[in-house]
């Protein structure tokens, strides 16, 4: 066996508690081309290597663990969440591995593919009318009521359950610090529930004595950029939309609130930058990443340019492009979204879908 293979093998461990033991300890991948361009070390934490395929495996495990520890969830119980994305997938895996039933409420605007995948993973799925959060029939409120009306049933409340944030204080942040041997200079990623950006920021600020710079990345249509840039003076309202999924927000969640003042700033990343990076990461790095991951990469590049050469900048590669390929690599969809012209001409051959 070659020396590199032995090194990797010795670094791994047996996941003795099954699925949940395999969550985390993902590698940092040096993004070679962007590092060369900026004169910085740009590193992406490969969260797509979690067993459920995304960074949300961490939060899913921690919100379930928290419910168990507080006596809210007992053997044979039911977990309920309102989600249309990776949190639901992570919860489905965690619940199956621990013997819990999972019930998911989601807007009925979501693709049949997402519904089918969650059902395939053992979840009971209720697609409900897509209405605003202040409407009592919003999917999150329906999830809450479902849990309240049943015994041994818990709503995990991913946006405002700070066990989500704790997952990243206890795991993601320490991993980044250890992997860089404390030489990380800056961290950036987007905010959806805000568990990742808040938890990692809290840990890195504390362990470094405030030295590490932390910036939240934000897509169009979200209020976080304006709020952070105005130092909390201007929340505003959501205007516009983005092709990215699971990130951007119209309010300050309970996960973000304790740590928002620790942020050094915010970076607004357009869909044009995100889609360009989808194709660049595939071509230049061999990384097949979703749009949210590539928004993070674009933010890391912008932050590296802002800070100047010689800095080490870390971001989160949330998940792969496998669930988004029918859009991200479709010429028709890219034209409809006005994004075709932002795909570098030399890379348009990757858009193989009509």
Closest CA to 328 of 281, 266, 284, 296: 281
Q: pLDDT of 161-205, one tens digit each?
A: 999 999 999 999 999 999 999 999 999 999 999 999 999 999 999
In this prediction, residue 130 carries a pLDDT of 84
Exposed e or buried b per residue across 290-322, where buried means at least 16 C-beta atoms within 10 angstroms of its C-beta = bbbbbbbbbbbbbbbeebeeebbbbbbbbbbbe
Convert the pLDDT of each residue in 74-118 to its tens digit.
Answer: 999 999 999 878 999 999 999 999 999 999 999 887 777 788 999
How many other CB atoms are found less than 10 A from the CB of residue 97?
Answer: 18
Mean pLDDT along residues 331-341: 96
Would the pLDDT of 248 be above 90? no
* Residue 199 phi, psi dihedral angles, 5° rounding: -65, -45
Residue 1 clears pLDDT 80, i.e. is over it: no
Cα–Cα distance measured from residue 240 to residue 131, given in angstroms and rounded to the nearest whole number: 17
Question: How far is the C-alpha of 300 from the C-alpha of 167, rounded, in Å?
Answer: 22
Instruction: Report yes or no: 167 and 94 within 8 Å, Cβ to Cβ.
Output: no
Q: Which residues are catalytic?
A: 56
Encode the chain in three state secondary structure.
CCHHHHHHHHHCCCCCCHHHHHCCCCCEEECHHHHHHHCCEEEEEEHHHCCCCECHHHHHHHHHHHHHHCCCCCCCCEEEEECCCHHHHHHHHHHHHHCCEEEEEEECCCCHHHHHHHHHCCCEEEEECCCCCCCCCCHHHHHHHHHHCCCCEEECCCCCCCHHHHHHHHHHHHHHHHHCCCCCCEEEEECCCCHHHHHHHHHHHHHCCCCCEEEEEECCCCCHHHHHHCCCCCCCCCCCCCCCCCCCCCCCCCCCCCCHHHCCEEEECCHHHHHHHHHHHHHHHCCCECHHHHHHHHHHHHHHHHHCCCCEEEEEECEECCCCHHHHCEHHHHHHCCCHHHCCHHHHHHCCEC
- Mean pLDDT rounded to a whole number for the chain: 93
What does the pLDDT read at residue 247?
83
- pLDDT score recorded for residue 149: 96
Distance in angstroms (rounded) separating the CA atoms of residues 188 and 313: 8
The pLDDT score that the predictor gives to residue 4 is 63
Return the pLDDT at 6: 54
CA proximity to 147, closest of 89, 59, 81: 81
Question: What does the pLDDT look like over 194-237, one tens digit per residue?
Answer: 999 999 999 999 999 999 999 999 999 899 999 999 887 777 76
Q: What is the pTM of this model?
A: 0.94
Tokens of 119: 């059902």
- Tell me if 207 sits within 8 A of 233, measured CB to CB: no
Query: What is the band of 238 on the pLDDT scale with cuts at 50, 70, 90?
Result: low
CA distance between the termini of the chain: 44
Q: Is the pLDDT of residue 2 over 80?
A: no
């Amino acid at each position: 066996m070659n020396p590199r293979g032995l090194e990797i093998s010795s670094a791994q461990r047996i996941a003795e508690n099954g699925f949940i033991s395999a969550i985390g300890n993902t590698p940092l991948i040096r993004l070679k081309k962007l590092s060369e361009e900026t004169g910085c070390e740009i590193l992406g934490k490969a969260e797509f290597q979690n067993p459920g395929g995304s960074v949300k495996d961490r939060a899913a495990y921690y919100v379930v663990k928290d419910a168990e520890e507080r006596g809210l969830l007992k053997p044979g119980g039911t977990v309920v969440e309102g989600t249309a994305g990776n949190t639901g997938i992570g919860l489905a895996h965690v619940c199956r591995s621990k013997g819990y039933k999972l019930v998911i409420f989601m807007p009925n605007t979501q693709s049949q593919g997402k519904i089918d995948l969650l059902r395939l993973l053992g979840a009971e799925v209720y697609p409900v009318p897509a209405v605003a959060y202040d409407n009592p029939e919003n999917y999150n409120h329906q999830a809450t009521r479902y849990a309240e009306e049943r015994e041994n049933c818990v709503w995990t409340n991913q946006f405002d359950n700070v066990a989500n944030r704790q997952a990243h204080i206890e795991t993601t942040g320490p991993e980044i610090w250890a992997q860089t041997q404390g030489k990380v200079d800056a961290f950036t990623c987007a905010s959806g529930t805000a568990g990742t950006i808040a938890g990692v920021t809290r840990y890195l600020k504390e362990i470094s004595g405030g030295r590490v710079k932390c910036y939240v990345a934000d897509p169009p249509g979200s209020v976080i950029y304006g709020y952070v840039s105005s130092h909390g003076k201007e929340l505003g309202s959501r205007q516009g939309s983005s092709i990215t999924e699971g990130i951007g927000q119209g309010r300050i969640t309970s996960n973000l609130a304790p740590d928002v003042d620790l942020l050094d700033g915010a970076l607004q990343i357009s869909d044009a930058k995100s889609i360009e990076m989808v194709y660049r990461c595939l071509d230049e790095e061999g990384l097949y990443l979703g749009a949210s991951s590539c928004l993070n990469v674009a933010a890391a590049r912008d932050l590296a340019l802002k800070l100047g050469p010689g800095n080490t900048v870390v971001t989160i590669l949330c998940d792969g492009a496998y669930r988004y390929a029918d859009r991200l690599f479709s010429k028709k969809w890219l034209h409809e979204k006005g994004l075709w012209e932002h795909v570098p001409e030399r890379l348009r051959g990757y858009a193989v879908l009509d």
